[in-house]
Structure 1
Amino acid sequence: MQRIGFLVYPGFQIMSLAAASVFEFANLTLRRTNYEVHVVSESGGPIASSLGAPIQTEAIGRQRFDTLLIGGGVGVPAVSASLLDIVRKSPRRSRRVAAICTGAFLLAQAGLLDGRRATTHWLVAQRLKQEHAAVTVEEDRIFIIDGDIWTSAGMSAGIDLALAMVEKDLGSEVARQVAQKLVIYHRRTGGQSQFSALLELEPKSDRIQNALTYAKSHLRSTLSVEELAAAASLSPRQFSRAFTAETGQSPAKAVEHLRVEAARLMMEQTRHPIEVIAREVGFADRERMRRAFVRAFGQPPQAMRRHAAEPDAGATVDVASRVA
């Protein structure tokens, strides 16, 4: 039996507890208790969430867990020095230690992320970078596994992280059945983006939204300003002016973002050669796609495909590779 400790603190965000349901449904799928989940806090007793609703907890003390999961908060958690000390010593008592969302700040403050890759919610990723320079923060990831330390993005990404744990422990078929029972997408890989290009643009008018929807559905087309303007029922001049005003980007830059997003999804979900992917998403050739990837992500598509092909959905870095 694997004991899961779910560590919470005053003001934790209650949605982070959704990750615990993954272990519950793994037990239901197996028809036996493989995971024993304990909600713990520094002193035990009722702990109020950010919503105000309390949850009953056990005192963590010197308990040993196979996995210790640290919940996230609405903002960056402010916890006691004694709780940080417990977190700092947790790898001695647990096979793996994980943090959901802003819980990564507790790992960083405890020094457990120094020299490691990690992620957190995109809203606070820059702050994590600034306050903890020894951490390699990858803000555009759903979850990351670096040795025995796991981190995830926003609260819902904790479910993806927990599913990855179940898959590692019990195999992909059990994880698939758990996801099916929870009515969630199985294996949203760690390397997937936290962002959507369409959501990031956030156009204010239906006409510009129509143009973007058209662009996403016709990526293989040239998608000239004239073509997009026609989809928006505007003149090219009116369209360019309105598009930039509403999205803060030129039409050409927005189309590039849509193509890069589509290309990365194809690399994660298919084995198509990069030349084929470049053609399918509308890049004229492989080199143009490479330059667009470097602008967007700071690395070429080949490097991102290698990450996606690594064990644990492109999110794992083992200790040997990190030392090397």
Structure 2
Amino acid sequence: MTTPSFRDASGQDATGVQRTTTSLRAQKSRAEGPRLSVGFILARRFTLCAFANFVDVLRLAADEGDRSRPILCDWTVLSDTMDPVASSSGITVQPKERLGDPRRFDYIVVVGGLMDETPSLSQAYHRFLHQAAEANIPLIGICTGAFFLHQAGLLNGYRCCVSWFHHSDFLEQFEGLNPVADQIFVVDRDRLTCSGGASSAHLAAYLVDKHVGRAQASKSLHIMIIDDALQADKPQPGLPLDLKTQDPIVQRALLLMQQNIDTPISVQDIAQRMGNSKRQIERHFRLALNTSPQAAFLDMRLDFAKHLVEKTQKSVAQIAVDCGFCDSSHLSRMFRRRYGVTPQSFRQTTYTDVSNAPSN
């Protein structure tokens, strides 16, 4: 079987690192059962899309065609109470088994949910996750699942991936950690985390590639109308941007800018966070976008300000704060230079155009 080329947070081959922390079950002869067995813990109000994408990659890789027999892979939803678990969309999932012995799985996956509506996992789940960690079974956090792993004390010393959308929440709640919000997933020894959504399919494909085979991983993604497996360091898409590029260094820099749009950071800070030099960042921006990082950051902030002026009733002073400008005068000056009108005039024109639009 060809192993993937993904690198973990320390720059080592993720597969080589994880081989030393393989679960007892993974050490058994594969003639005894599936090559890849995954146990799922679903937090209340979990993200259905992230869970379904992960499971469907396993399902499609497990059997010939689309027959869904758990031959090469199996998957089980675990519970401490066996009560149905409601997703954030309101659809419920019925667990299949109680927690039991975690060593029967190769991986334990925690699927997180809505930040404001999801309580901590129960002590039974915490004990189960600690038992898994002590048995050297890799733990996976999907979407906000990284929050739960950290609450259980199982991410100390690890890098972890969180969605760009929850980056600030993570920093507020978990001081001292260094969450990664500019990659779709992170493999750091025996902890794997991903930002959720479609990235969970790519993390699942990474596991299928490692344990079952690249052909099965590709087959799963192709049936799901996903062209190819993405590597771990593929940048998260973030907010929609007019600044389009396929350059991963520029994409990651733009994402860091988005995360700091209200408190602009310097190009030097961006370069340090990414592990690149300032000159490298500037060169990539010039080649990819024919502009400088500073100019791109200003364009991004002005675009966001324009959106807020047009779509909200916030004051120009508040919009200036939200977009990282010194004050309303600074915003108005830069806004006029870019769009030819002040924010106040633009808002009034937009309101007038909507008011005068013909009704059906």
Shared fold per TM-score greater than 0.5: yes
Q: What is the deviation of 1:35?
A: 1.0
Distance, in Å, in 1 between the alignment partners of 2:99 and 2:147 is 19
When the two structures are superposed, what TM-score results if normalisation uses the length of structure 2?
0.55
What is the aligned partner in structure 1 of residue 144 from structure 2?
102
Instruction: Kindly indicate whether the alpha-carbon contact (under 8 Å) linking 1:117 and 1:137 is maintained by their aligned counterparts in 2.
Output: yes
Contiguous gaps of at least 5 residues in structure 1: 201-211, 220-247, 265-272, 294-324
Distance, in Å, in 2 between the alignment partners of 1:66 and 1:154 is 20
When the two structures are superposed, what TM-score results if normalisation uses the length of structure 1?
0.60
What is the aligned partner in structure 1 of residue 222 from structure 2?
180
Q: What is the deviation of 1:280?
A: 4.3
Structure of larger gyration radius: 2
Change beyond 3 A, Cα 1:174–1:117: same
Instruction: Name the Cα RMSD after superposition.
Output: 3.7
Distance, in Å, in 1 between the alignment partners of 2:281 and 2:167 is 30
What is the aligned partner in structure 2 of residue 72 from structure 1?
112
What is the aligned partner in structure 2 of residue 28 from structure 1?
63
CA offsets, 1:200-232, max 9 Å, x none? 4xxxxxxxxxxx4xx759x9xxxxxxxxxxxxx
Contiguous gaps of at least 5 residues in structure 2: 1-33, 248-260, 275-279, 297-360
Instruction: Kindly indicate whether the alpha-carbon contact (under 8 Å) linking 1:87 and 1:106 is maintained by their aligned counterparts in 2.
Output: no
Distance, in Å, in 1 between the alignment partners of 2:288 and 2:162 is 29
What is the aligned partner in structure 2 of residue 322 from structure 1?
none
Q: What is the deviation of 1:8?
A: 1.1
Q: What is the deviation of 1:183?
A: 1.0
What is the aligned partner in structure 2 of residue 222 from structure 1?
none
Distance, in Å, in 2 between the alignment partners of 1:45 and 1:73 is 17
Distance, in Å, in 2 between the alignment partners of 1:147 and 1:171 is 20
Instruction: Kindly indicate whether the alpha-carbon contact (under 8 Å) linking 1:8 and 1:47 is maintained by their aligned counterparts in 2.
Output: yes
Q: What is the deviation of 1:180?
A: 1.0
Instruction: Kindly indicate whether the alpha-carbon contact (under 8 Å) linking 2:43 and 2:112 is maintained by their aligned counterparts in 1.
Output: no
SS at match of 1:177: helix
The aligned runs of 1:307-318 (5 Å cut-off) are none
What is the aligned partner in structure 1 of residue 207 from structure 2?
165
Instruction: Kindly indicate whether the alpha-carbon contact (under 8 Å) linking 1:122 and 1:140 is maintained by their aligned counterparts in 2.
Output: yes
Q: Which has the higher contact order (CA 8 A, sep 6+)?
A: 2
Question: Which of 51, 67, 76 matches 1:38?
Answer: 76
Question: Which of 281, 288, 293 matches 1:281?
Answer: 288
Which amino acid in structure 1 is aligned with residue 48 of structure 2? I
Change beyond 3 A, Cα 1:41–1:32: closer
Which amino acid in structure 1 is aligned with residue 223 of structure 2? K
CA offsets, 1:164-196, max 9 Å, x none? 111122333332222111111322222122235
Identity of aligned residues (%): 26
SS at match of 2:148: helix
Instruction: Kindly indicate whether the alpha-carbon contact (under 8 Å) linking 1:88 and 1:107 is maintained by their aligned counterparts in 2.
Output: no
Q: Across the two proteins, how many residue pairs are aligned to each other?
A: 230
Instruction: Kindly indicate whether the alpha-carbon contact (under 8 Å) linking 2:209 and 2:216 is maintained by their aligned counterparts in 1.
Output: yes
Q: What is the deviation of 1:26?
A: 0.7
